[in-house]
A = this chain, B = another copy of it.
Amino acid sequence: MASEKVYDCIIIGAGLSGLVAARNLYRNGSDILVLEAQDRIGGRMVGKSLPSGQWIDQGGQWVGPTQDRFLNLLNEYKVKRFPTPSTGLKVLVFDGKRFEFDGFFQGHYEGEVPGVSKEEWLDATEAWAKFKKLSDELPEGHPFSGDKIEDLDSDTLERWIKDNTKTKFGHWYFSYMCRAVGFSGPSEPKEVSLLHALWGEKIASQSENPEAELLHGGAGQLPEKIASEFSSKIKINEPVHTISYGNGKVEVISQVSSYKTKYVIIAMPPHLAGHILYQPSLPALREQLTQRIPMGTCAKVLVSYKSPFWRKKGLAGIAIGNNKWVELCADSSDPETGVGVIAAFVAGDRYRKWQTMSESQRRDAVISDLKIYFGDEAGSYETFDEVNWPTNPWTGGGYTCFMPPGVWSSMGQALSSSIGPIYWAGTEMSDRWPGFFEGAIRTGEAAASDVMKLLE
């Protein structure tokens, strides 16, 4: 089955990063091949059409004003954006008490303060100021060297929260940020390095408003658009299990065939890149790293309604709180269709409990929380779509990977360093907006550019 042909570059993984790398190389005249393990391209950029005509995004969906590369891509493919619906009051539920307020907080806060006690609010926001200061002081780039790095990397975020907050609300404020929103994960605060959480806030901060806009038709339309000019170069259903390299040759062996190439770009989450057998073995630092870099724990649930019923009640469709299952949900309704869509997230230990239940119990659990946030009308949904990223073996979780303590300071440099003819891409490798489409594009572009220089 093996061919004697030698490609210029094989790209493994047809998520956004791999597609961008492949497209750029193809446009440059390189002889490429894209191998994708799944039966579809797109990775975490994947959509679905509902019977109502509304689209939903099962993976990422938003774009923000400082995500240049993604904005460029959207312009190139003429995908139109619209402001994320946010008019109206936000909802906070804390320990069973429900507040509607004309403000918001995702770490930094805006507008009116929710109805928690002054002591609770000051506790959270004063600790946030401390956290932000520590975060601002980190050096540029991946945080694997520098004065305080090892020290910050020796604690969990949970330890820092315990040492720096006094109230249950203050504790939850950070836990929620880590578990549901980001800090580049998400993760439980007990499992993530303090350094990683600080870094996540520095390079992908909510204060830059990364969820400012949504896309008419959804992000899921993009993979086919990007792939259209080189679709004959893509093979799906071809998991790669072995890469042999040395003496200027690379052999890539999939479950279907084997291929020869000059260079290879591996555009996969790092733990999955670690599943491939490399001959010879990769340097120990890299092998050790890929054992220590788990994906975040998060399922996305998309619930659609005839219309955005919450707006009649003066609500924005954005709600947060320490409910039993859903700590964050957001209005994802496209004004062109008139359909109401709520995107809800079940993350961390909540997810781990939730996934032990039956499908109908999981649905009831989410709907029950949506009723608490938005009222009983939340029970009258049209469609319910659960996207269980942690059980997808070719992704392994969502939104992105995170670093447990000790990993950045001992082996962070191995995250993106190329090894001989092997280059890495994927949003996890980015030092700006990792876990976002922006990070996927940046690393895909960079890997393609590195390989192009070598092919010249």
Contact = CB atoms under 8 A, between A and B. Distances in A.
A271 interface: yes
Interface stretch (A288-296, A324-332, A364-372): A288-296
A355 B285 contact: yes
Interface stretch (A59-67, A133-141, A152-160, A313-321): A152-160
Contact of A159 (B154, B189, B396): B154
Contacts of A155: 155-156, 158-159
A156 B284 contact: no
A241 to B, nearest CB: 5
A159 B194 CA distance: 12
Given A154-B158, A154-B159, A406 B287 contact: no
B392 A281 contact: yes
Nearest to A292: B294
B284 A349 contact: no
A278 interface: yes
Contacts of A162: 154
A303 interface: no
Given A191-B405, A281-B393, A154 B154 contact: no
Given A291-B295, A294-B291, A397-B291, A191 B281 contact: no
A293 B275 CA distance: 14
A274 B278 CA distance: 17
Given A295-B291, A352-B288, A410-B188, A156 B405 contact: yes
Interface string A378-412: 00000000001011110011000000111101110
Interface in A228-274: 239, 241-242, 255, 271, 274
Contact of A390 (B153, B274, B288, B406): B288
A349 B388 CA distance: 36
A191 B407 contact: yes
A381 to B, nearest CB: 24
A391 B154 contact: no
Nearest to A278: B393
A156 to B, nearest CB: 5
B352 A410 contact: yes
A351 interface: yes
B190 A409 contact: yes
A292 B410 CA distance: 16
A283 interface: yes
